[in-house]
Chains A and B, each alone.
Chain A
Amino acid sequence: MRCGKRRNEVDSVSVATATKRSGGTAAAGKRPGPGRDHSAWFLVLPALIPILILSVGPLLYGIALAFTDAQSGRTQPTQWVGTLNFQDLLHDTLFWDSFRIGLLWAVGVTVPQFLLALGLALLLDQNLRFRWLARALAIIPWAMPEVVVGIMWRLVYNPDAGILNETIRDLGLGDGRDWLTGLATALPAVILVGIWAGMPQTTVALLAGLQNTPHELHEAAALDGAGAWRRFRTVTWPALKPVALAITALNFIWNFNSFALVYVLTNGGPGGRTRLPMLFAYEEAFRYGQFGYAAAMGCVMVAVVSVLLALYLVGRLKGDQDR
């Protein structure tokens, strides 16, 4: 707490927002605004301390580790090595392979998933029968542990006893194949699972966005004779855009950083074709004990997703302005 002046500023802001929210003036000045006393800090500390110790602290420690030769189970003390890990990373073709695969996977999951989820959200926004069933089913992938999702799809993809190949055989399209171990099919196969697994969150966010769109505008546009596509383009999409941008950026980040699903499906195989950056870093850290090197990989991943995060924040700010 620097001085009283600062706190008064805070108070007037919160009062202003409170007044705006209640749409009136009554009692606004007497509102028990946090910041008037020190209790805001007491309310925040129980969460703030663990956050600092177990989240912010480790993050900074992790960045520091990237500049050391830290290894597990070694007797000599850890030393600063400057940017050596990063220089090694530059020449590590395996890492860049995994990086490329990570980007392919993240784009390959995020974009089709967005389109599919948008379609589903638009459908669920309509007054259709069985909508409740779709809503309930759409939640299943969300409730399942990622490990189970991976196991479940391995059963689907199973070359002999799986339903996918059986369907292919039934349709007379051939014998099917071993999707998860084929060099060409492994990445598309895991991408399909990624799309499936992330559908609920994306759909729910888009549906929420749709329900915020001004309905009167929609009707007015319809009365003016605008077709469905035109109404979507001129009314729905402009209102949905901030949400769409935000969820897409977040999905891309989550996908780029994902681990469990692919660990269970292929464990990075065949021949590294599905080895996402997180799988690579995990092996480097906990199989080979190269903590410093793996931390450097983490730093590079953070740098990449930070760009996306910036996009996301811009999207959110815009969303606030539009309101």
Chain B
Amino acid sequence: MSTLRTSRAARFGQYLALLAYLVFLAFPFLWLISTAFKPAPELGSLHPTWIPKDPTLANFRQAFDEQPLLQAAGNSLVAALAAALIAVVIATPMAYVMARHRGRLATAATGWVVVSQAFPFVLVIIPLFLVLKNLHLINSLLGLVMVYVVWSLPFALWMLTGYVRAVPAELEEAAAVDGAGRLRTLVSVTAPLLAPGIVATALFAFITAWNEFFFALVLLKTPEKQTLPVVLTHFLGAEGVADLGPLAAAAFLATIPSLVIFAIIQKRITGGMLTGAVKS
């Protein structure tokens, strides 16, 4: 964006700073990958190296042997998919109203979206725990999905409201002139234009649920029901003495889905943040 003339020294300084940021942001992740591929003797060494001298997949095998990772990933997948789909289906019409309607309802909804960012989850999880217990939904993915849906709604609404605002109102006006009703307009004119935004929002809700830890820790009791982040903490052991190799391998695997999805929707997320968080 800078069309301003920048001196060579300044440019050099900028690249140096950029390099420092790159190192700071990348090194822990590179170390995780490095650790995941190291055989046990190298992990015990006092002089660890960046590149494993004798790379191995043994840590991955051991990780799957030690903890029910596949089952946990399955649980995470089910919970995150269900939560993302439900959240988007119910959030889209509400976001439409919030974007186009300047009534009390929209104001209250916007207020809730903002206020809900400040909840300390402990104040919400205790009552939810009691309610879900009475409904026999503790240690159940269904209960967790219910919590995830509501928990992902604020951000989903935020993003979607931004996307709705980006659809020119003139198109809806034109449809109205042609005699289309409001729902008809919404379904046949607005929704198709919103589709990319809806997909991005769903993927974001998916990642949020896939990564979530606190609610899952409280609500899921038995290893067969637990999601991936909770099962990962079992690798840490009781005294925090961890088997580093399998720990790194499992942690690395758990990140891959989010990283892939994020790589796909990165532009849209930053766009959603821009329209949602800053412009609204």
Contacts and interface: CB of A to CB of B under 8 A. Distances in A.
Say whether A and B bind each other: yes
Nearest to A298: B123
Q: At the interface, is chain A mostly helix, strand, loop or mixed?
A: helix
A247 B276 CA distance: 13
B126 A298 contact: yes
Interface string A127-147: 111110111111111111111
Interface of B is mostly: helix
A161 B244 contact: yes
Nearest to B183: A39
Nearest to A146: B213
A37 B120 CA distance: 37
Contacts of A209: 278
A309 interface: yes
A168 interface: no
A138 to B, nearest CB: 6
A43 B174 CA distance: 21
Contact of A47 (B17, B90, B270): B90
A188 interface: no
A43 B96 contact: yes
Contact of A35 (B94, B103, B150, B153): B103
Interface in A149-164: 149, 151-156, 158, 160-163
A161 B48 contact: yes
A32 B43 CA distance: 66
A68 to B, nearest CB: 11
Contacts of A13: 102
A65 to B, nearest CB: 6
Interface string A230-273: 00000000000001001100100110110110011001000000
Given A32-B182, A161-B35, 14 more contacts: A58-B128, A119-B21, A144-B211, A145-B211, A152-B32, A155-B28, A155-B35, A155-B247, A156-B31, A161-B244, A267-B240, A281-B122, A285-B122, A319-B278
Interface of B: 1-4, 6, 10, 14-15, 17-18, 21-22, 24-29, 31-32, 35, 43-48, 50, 89-91, 93-94, 96-97, 100-103, 105, 109, 112, 114-131, 146-147, 149-151, 153, 157, 168-170, 172-177, 180-183, 185-186, 207, 210-214, 218, 228-230, 232-233, 235-236, 240, 242, 244, 247-248, 251-252, 254-255, 258-259, 261-263, 266, 269-270, 273-274, 277-280
